[in-house]
Copies of this chain bind each other. A is one copy, B any other.
């Protein structure tokens, strides 16, 4: 395992010191609870608020796609390939394989002379309902471009062409992933203690909750007239904010909540991770639900964005995540998902 010797944290139990963040009710009783860690960092990389353990080590999963996209810009590969905000938003996306996602990514690939077979992310059934149902009706098979990470991998392919690396760009010791690792450790401000292989076959570098929140705060505080790193960060966060529909898709939390806010970029990750970049406040947010559940990470990050004053608690997109009025198959309201009191402050 790469770098397991670097840090000697007691990391075998991410549940250590976690806190109740979200409650699921039925009738007027709590039926299930979700625990986790939540951290807010400022532009100096200092923790300004936390719940749970800010030192907990986690896999950020897809929440760190904007970090993974930094070498694409900083290497000059994005400029050489003529990538604009739409492609950069897609490089940061966990999209659901709708035509608005696969169309531009397909054009991007074709322009670069790549084909679906060059991907290393694997084929995934599109999560977009109309696209998925059309595929079923046509007796079609999903392709790698439908994979929710295909924009990130288009970025890896583009960076790889620039670096003249071999075709196995997903391997941890490949120049593409080594560039990602270097950027990751720089922006988190910590050596990554270990990595795991992500759903899309790329390595996913672990970091502390504080490291992840600190990285998001750096994205938040980055200046358009700063150094190359800062300028790359500004381009990525602005691409996400300009194209929320490309970062996830219709009905998804990232898309709906970004549309409901002004200039705030947010990103989900598998196994209950969520991050937020707040440029006006120069703050970064990281959430990890210990049991890995998305319904809870969405609720928790929405609650924190409300608490930080950037999200209207009455906005329908907020209400859907913070108190969705769980309904059964007949539409009867049976319960709710709500932030735990400690999260509301």
Chain A residues within 8 Å of B, Cβ to Cβ = 1, 11-15, 20, 24, 26-35, 57-59, 120-124, 133, 136-137, 147, 194-201, 204, 206, 271-272, 289-293, 296, 328-332, 334-335
Contacts and interface: CB of A to CB of B under 8 A. Distances in A.
A14 B30 contact: yes
A334 B122 CA distance: 14
B11 A33 contact: no
Given A13-B30, A291-B33, A334-B199, A121 B329 contact: yes
Given A137-B137, A330-B201, A196 B291 contact: no
Main DSSP-derived SS at the A contact region = loop
A120 B330 contact: yes
Contact of A290 (B32, B124, B331): B32
Nearest to A202: B328
Task: Name the 6 nearest CB pairs between A and B, nearest first.
Answer: A122-B329, A26-B196, A32-B292, A122-B330, A27-B196, A291-B291
Given A29-B194, A123-B329, 8 more contacts: A11-B29, A13-B20, A27-B197, A124-B329, A199-B328, A199-B334, A201-B328, A201-B332
B15 A31 contact: no
B20 A32 contact: no
Copies of this chain present in the complex amount to: 2
5 contacts: A1-B27, A13-B30, A27-B194, A34-B291, A121-B329
A292 B292 CA distance: 11
A88 to B, nearest CB: 23
A328 to B, nearest CB: 5
A120 B329 CA distance: 10
B31 A196 contact: yes
Contacts of A35: 15, 35, 291
Contacts of A137: 136-137
A309 to B, nearest CB: 29
A26 B197 contact: yes
Contacts of A293: 291-293
Among A14, A120, A206, the most chain B Cβ lie within 10 Å of the Cβ of A14
Given A136-B136, A137-B137, A293-B291, A29 B196 contact: yes
Contacts of A26: 59, 196-197, 204
Contacts of A201: 328-330, 332
Contacts of A334: 196-199
